[in-house]
Amino acid sequence: MANYFQSSKNSELSELQIDLNSMSLEVKKEAAKQVIAMMTIGKDVSSLFPHMVKCMETNSIELKKLVYLYIINYAKSKADLAIMAVNSFQKDAREKGSPLLRALSLRTMGCIRIEKITQEFLESLKSGLQDHDPYVKKTAALAVAKLYSISPKMVLDQDLVKLLQGLLQDGNAIVVANACASLLEISNSTGKNYFKFSKSNGLHKILSAVNESNEWGQVFILEAISTYDPRNSDEADQICERIMPRLAHNNPAVLLSSVKVLLKNIDYLKDDASRQSVLKKLSAPLISLIACEPELQYVALRNISFILQKQPSIFENNIKVFFIKFNDPVYVKLEKVDILVKVADKNNCEQILHEFKEYSQDVDMELVGAAVKAIGQIVLKIESSAKTAAQCTHDIVKNGQPLALQEAVIVAKDILRKFPGKYEAIVEDLVKKVDEYYEVEAKASIMWIVGEYAEKIKTSQKIIEDYAGQFLEEPDPVKLQILTACVKLYLKKPE
């Protein structure tokens, strides 16, 4: 193939024009390959458009593929000339003896994004959707989604969506998968669910297609099933039973789509034991994704984060898998911190808080800030964690890492406000570092603490005076806390 990309006398456009009009099929093919090669490396060969279109009048599939590729590339810039090819496309789409040729013409017409041509394309597409050959039907199904991106009104007015819905009952799994892919794209574009399963055996057929499809076909079919609302508990149980084996699939996309279907159907199961049984089977496959490469880990963690909003107890016995490893990228670390907050409960909160305290000494500043902030989130979520959280916060304050300190004073303020009269031992160490706070929320928090405990802090008057001295330079949240602290100081120490 390399010789097609090398510049030579044969690559001159005039010579290529002669070769494209040759009576010899082999000469035409060689010339077409040369044209495609020049097009690929960015040379303008649009002047050869009429001569390439003439080459469509051939029985050679190889030559037709080359010409179709050329037409797709130049159709927009040569719209008037592209219309010349329409009759040839329609003729190929009606070629009874060759399903491959019918499919090829439909795919090419779908890729030509010109409204004039799409009008001519419509009848051929309708025929393709009702073709007897599965290969033609699956190609036509995807072409509907492409046509929708050019002319949504045409697709809806001409009942192409109904024809797609009919393909959901097709006996060929690839056709069903492509119909699902096309309907998903249309549904996502309109915000309307276009999936309709017949009451008799519609669901059974599409569930059977899952087992027969390739992995990407399974993803589209599973996404389609996830839009379906079971009519009763038995139907939901049937769906769960049929989809459960997909959890063992080695493709993460299939696994996550299967989880989506199962989570949807769990809500329809009447028996609590059945629900718990399904939930238990979900955790292990999801955990297996966390051992993959970082990019895949991140996608898995994002999905797990959403799942936890609905099923917070699903990983209660496996929290250690979310502990951060030293070689995790920062985006994975931050996602794990967020998940640890969500899985925290009264049984494991102490372990998680100590883990966050360790992260507060990390070299990654983003992780430090997120970990300390997470301590405050757990305190607000689980009251019984307050003692451990206060001790961890106190240790972070003593350690004195600048960024950790900014977040620690905010967490301390939340603890002191939520549990008045308790954990006041931390106040003295916070006040000692009063000159080290530089974040707006940190400054506002220390002023709240100084005002709240003014009678117990020996230097409260001096601290408030120092802040009041630069009152006009401070942001509004800090100004507000300075004013409040002044009033509290007056009420608690009138002298």
Question: Which tens digits make up the pLDDT trace of 24-42?
Answer: 888 988 888 988 888 888 8
Q: How confident is the model at residue 322 (pLDDT cuts 50, 70, 90)?
A: very high
Domain that holds residue 327: 240-343
**Amino acid present at 33:** K
* Average pLDDT value for residue range 345-356: 92
**pLDDT over 70 (residue 323):** yes
| Residues 326 and 403 placed together within one structural domain of the fold | no
Task: Yes or no: say if 453 and 460 are a contact pair by the CB < 8 Å rule.
Answer: yes
Task: Tell me which of 348 and 121 has the higher pLDDT.
Answer: 348
Q: Is residue 160 part of a domain?
A: no
Torsion angle in degrees (nearest 10) through CA of 296, 298, 302, 303: 20
Q: How far apart are CA 399 and CA 360, in angstroms?
A: 9
What's the first-to-final CA gap in the chain, in angstroms? 94
Same domain, 327 and 416: no
Would you say the C-alpha torsion 333, 335, 336, 340 has a positive or negative sign? positive
φ/ψ of residue 174, rounded to 5:
-65, -40
Q: How confident is the model at residue 199 (pLDDT cuts 50, 70, 90)?
A: low
Given pLDDT bands bounded at 50, 70 and 90, which one contains residue 443? very high
User: 427 in a domain, yes or no?
Assistant: yes
Same domain, 450 and 479: yes
Q: Is the predicted pLDDT of residue 7 greater than 60, yes or no?
A: no
Question: Could you tell me the maximum CA-CA distance found in the chain, to the nearest angstrom?
Answer: 111
User: Do 307 and 367 share a domain, yes or no?
Assistant: no
Say if residue 424 is in the same domain as residue 445: no
Identify whether residues 244 and 334 lie together within a single domain. yes
Q: Helices 252-266 and 294-310 sit at what angle, rounded to 10 degrees?
A: 0
Q: To the nearest 5 percent, what fractions of the chain are helix, strand and coil? A: 75, 0, 25
The answer to whether 315 and 303 are in contact (CB under 8 A) is: no
453 and 423 co-located in one domain = no
Which pLDDT belongs to residue 233? 87
Q: Could you give the CA distance from residue 289 to residue 302 in angstroms, rounded to a whole number?
A: 11
Q: Where a domain ends, among 299, 322, 343?
A: 343
pLDDT for the residue numbered 4 = 53
Asked if pLDDT for residue 10 goes beyond 50, the answer is no
DSSP E strand stretches across 113-153: none
- pLDDT bin (cut points 50, 70, 90) of residue 148 is confident
432 and 370 in a single domain? The answer is: yes
Residue type at 54? Answer: K
Q: Average pLDDT over the chain, rounded to whole?
A: 86
Instruction: Return the CA Rg of the chain.
Output: 33
Report the residue count for the chain: 495
Q: Are 349 and 270 part of one and the same domain?
A: no
Structure tokens at 242: 């049929």
pLDDT at 3 over 70: no
Residues 433-458, mean pLDDT to the nearest whole number: 90
Per-residue confidence at 8, pLDDT binned at 50, 70, 90? very low
Tokens of 459: 């230097």
Residues of the chain with pLDDT > 70, as a percent, come to 96
> 334 and 359 share a domain?
no
Mean pLDDT of 271-279: 84
Q: Is residue 274 part of a domain?
A: yes
pLDDT score recorded for residue 372: 94
Q: Is the pLDDT of residue 157 over 90?
A: no
Q: Which tops the pLDDT comparison, 153 or 372?
A: 372
For the chain, how many structural domains are there in total? 3
- pLDDT higher than threshold 60 for residue 215: yes
Question: Is pLDDT above 60 for 246?
Answer: yes
- pLDDT: which is higher, 41 or 75: 41
377-425 pLDDT, tens digit per residue, is 999 899 999 999 999 999 999 887 888 999 999 999 999 999 888 888 8
Whether 311 is covered by a domain: the verdict is: yes
pLDDT(81) > 80: no
Residue 446 in any domain: the answer is yes
What's the pLDDT band for 444 if we cut at 50, 70, 90?
very high
Mean predicted confidence (pLDDT) in 200-224: 85
Q: From CA 178, how far away is CA 295, in angstroms rounded?
A: 27
Q: Of 130, 150, 149, nearest to 140 (Cα)?
A: 130
pLDDT of residue 370: 94
Answer yes or no: is 409 within a domain.
Answer: yes
The amino acid occupying position 173 is: A
Q: For residue 336, what pLDDT band results from cuts at 50, 70 and 90?
A: very high
Residue 324 has pLDDT above 80, yes or no: yes
What pLDDT, on a 0 to 100 scale, did the predictor assign at position 6? 53
Q: Is the residue at 111 inside a domain?
A: no
**Residue 435 burial (10 A CB sphere; 0-12, 13-18, 19+):** exposed
| Domain final residue, candidates 420, 438, 456 | 438
> Final residue of a domain: which of 343, 373, 403?
343
